[in-house]
Amino acid sequence: MMFETLEVGKQIKPGDFDKLEGPLREQLLRAQLELAERDYPVIIVVAGPDGAGKGSLVQQLNEWMDPRWIETNTFWEHSDEEESRPFFWRFWRSLPGRGQIGIFLGSWYTRPAQAAIAGSMGASEFSLYCKQIEIFEQMLADDGALIVKLWLHISHDSQKSRLQDASVHRQATQRGSNLSYELHGTYQRTMEVSEQLILATDSSHSPWQLIEAEDSHYRDLTAGQLLLQAMLNRAGREPREGGADSAREEMLVEGQPTVLDSVDLSLKLDRDQYKMRLAELQERLHHLGWQAYLEKRSTVALFEGWDAAGKGSAIRRVTRAIDPRLFRLVQIAAPTDEEQAHHYLWRFWRQLQRDGRCTFFDRSWYGRVLVERVEKFASPDEWQRAYSEINQFEQQLVDHGIIVMKFWLHISPAEQKRRFHAREQTPYKQHKLTEDDWRNRARWHDYEIAVDQMVSHTSTRHAPWTLVSGNDKRYARVQILETFCDKLEEALNKK
């Protein structure tokens, strides 16, 4: 899930690449030069499936910067020396010194990934191993190290075609001992294990960056920008607020596609079909609501989306089908004083209903990585670590048996404009349109980037996002109701 949402076709045209490469290179070199005077090392982990271009990226980074002060580590050959010492010894001895850069092309992530995919490492050994990784990275971060972890992703199809390429084959063969696991048709399993690995090791001190690697120009430039930004932030040259995400924005300013572009906004339902399907689905949901109550299974469903995307009216179509004693609808607006005085997740924890009930959130904890990010109410540190905090939170809900559903209501900018004007002209709807709405609209692009990253970081197997095609309200409502019924039914049957 997580990875599929990355497959949106981001790319940089060769001409643009040439324009952007020069300044980036210059800045990277300068950052590297300054690093030499600093008392911390930079540790870069490059990971991802075979064929994603990890090697080429590392080559590019070496080209952009001064390779004399970069050490690239691979760990292809397992030496006797390594085998006869504790596993992490090989990484300890390869760590860069303060002021230096170490790139880990193979790393502490390679073994658990390969072993779990090959089936030779069980779940509890895997999680123990993840714990070791965390301890290791925490130690380095506590000591001041800047850790930049880049995960390159490519689709199954691209991987297949790339791995058929003779040169890649040759390279894989030359490495010899390196298990080319993906060659054996285990792409899906690779993605599953990778997601687990990322979720278990995504922390505030060493977060993962996910990069779509279909296009090598986009891949290299984005990786370079993320690295540069991390180095500048760490050096404190840029103010922390607002600085951290400028690299990504820069990259996307040129009109990169986002996950939202994968939503087909032309989908429609005519009135008759709509009425029929609505009645049918509401009837179904009514029964499922009671069944869930009897089986003591809770649902947490949250709705996010553009202003005027129709969240409110869609939620009403869902709640109308459920006995009011079985659900609560929580509207999330600005936090109260008391809420403000706690961790931002506190206000959501307190709203959880007892087993067997539904809790609907009209806007949610995702405000942290949407409005709070875009409006800079949260610092980059805060919203960046929120991805893993949110994943952990939702994991706890799911572990308790709660069914978590997340809907993003998507509409086009043109459709939003149409609806805003309609509101202006309809007296009883005028109150729904505020200054804020126009202001948010002007930030459409910032929100688009925030949504794109939110979806790729939090569309987990345990709590995936559903992107709703919202230009046609009827279609959107039916899509939501149907998804809701399907997921609820599936969860109840699985139990």
Strands 101-104 and 299-305: unpaired
Compute and round to an integer the Cα radius of gyration of the chain.
Answer: 24
Among 128, 253, 276, 279, binds a copy of itself (CB under 8 A): 128
In the complex, least distance from residue 335 CB atom to a copy of itself, rounded to whole angstroms? 12
**495 lies in the binding site for a copy of itself (CB under 8 A):** no
Binding mask 282-301 for a copy of itself (x = CB under 8 A): --------------x-----
Nearer to a copy of itself, 74 or 395 (CB): 395
Nearer to a copy of itself, 225 or 460 (CB): 460
In the complex, least distance from residue 86 CB atom to a copy of itself, rounded to whole angstroms? 4
**131 lies in the binding site for a copy of itself (CB under 8 A):** yes
Q: Are 139 and 206 in contact (CB under 8 A)?
A: no
Binding mask 87-106 for a copy of itself (x = CB under 8 A): xxx--xx-x-xxxx------
d(CA 141, CA 206): 8
**312 lies in the binding site for a copy of itself (CB under 8 A):** no
**379 lies in the binding site for a copy of itself (CB under 8 A):** no
Nearer to a copy of itself, 379 or 483 (CB): 379
List helix spans (H) across 320-412. Answer: 337-340, 346-349, 371-374, 380-399
**400 lies in the binding site for a copy of itself (CB under 8 A):** yes
DSSP bridge partners of 410:
469
List helix spans (H) across 236-333. Answer: 246-253, 271-294, 311-319
Nearer to a copy of itself, 156 or 462 (CB): 462
d(CA 233, CA 240): 6
Instruction: Quote the tokens at residue 369.
Output: 């990585």
d(CA 414, CA 419): 9
Q: Which residues contact 290 (CB under 8 A, 6 or more apart)?
A: 323, 326
In the complex, least distance from residue 240 CB atom to a copy of itself, rounded to whole angstroms? 14
Q: CB count, 10 Å around CB of 256?
A: 20
Nearer to a copy of itself, 248 or 368 (CB): 368
**Angle at alpha carbon of residue 39, lines to 37 and 45, rounded to 5°:** 100
**138 lies in the binding site for a copy of itself (CB under 8 A):** yes
Among 213, 247, 315, 402, binds a copy of itself (CB under 8 A): 402
Among 24, 70, 397, 468, binds a copy of itself (CB under 8 A): 397
Nearer to a copy of itself, 109 or 447 (CB): 109
Phi and psi dihedrals of 363, rounded to 5? 70, 160
Residues 204-233 that bind a copy of itself (CB under 8 A): 204
Helix H or strand E encompassing 474: helix 473-494
Nearer to a copy of itself, 343 or 417 (CB): 343
Residues 327-366 that bind a copy of itself (CB under 8 A): 338, 341-346, 349-350, 352, 354-356
Could you tell me the CA-to-CA distances from 346 to 268, 338, 343, 395 in Å, in that order?
Answer: 39, 10, 5, 16
Among 81, 323, 375, 490, binds a copy of itself (CB under 8 A): 81
How many residues sit in the footprint of a copy of itself (CB under 8 A)?
52
Phi and psi dihedrals of 74, rounded to 5? -120, -40
Name residue, tokens 């069914």: 403
For the beta sheet containing 327-331, the strands, ordered from the edge strand earlier in sequence to the opposite edge, are: 327-331, 358-362, 299-305, 403-410, 465-469
Q: What is the largest CA-CA distance in the chain?
A: 79
Nearer to a copy of itself, 100 or 225 (CB): 100
Nearer to a copy of itself, 164 or 340 (CB): 340
**389 lies in the binding site for a copy of itself (CB under 8 A):** yes
**140 lies in the binding site for a copy of itself (CB under 8 A):** yes
Q: Which residues are at the interface with a copy of itself (CB under 8 A)? A: 41, 80-81, 84-89, 92-93, 95, 97-100, 124, 127-128, 131-132, 135, 138-140, 142-143, 145, 203-204, 296, 338, 341-346, 349-350, 352, 354-356, 385, 389, 392, 396-397, 399-400, 402
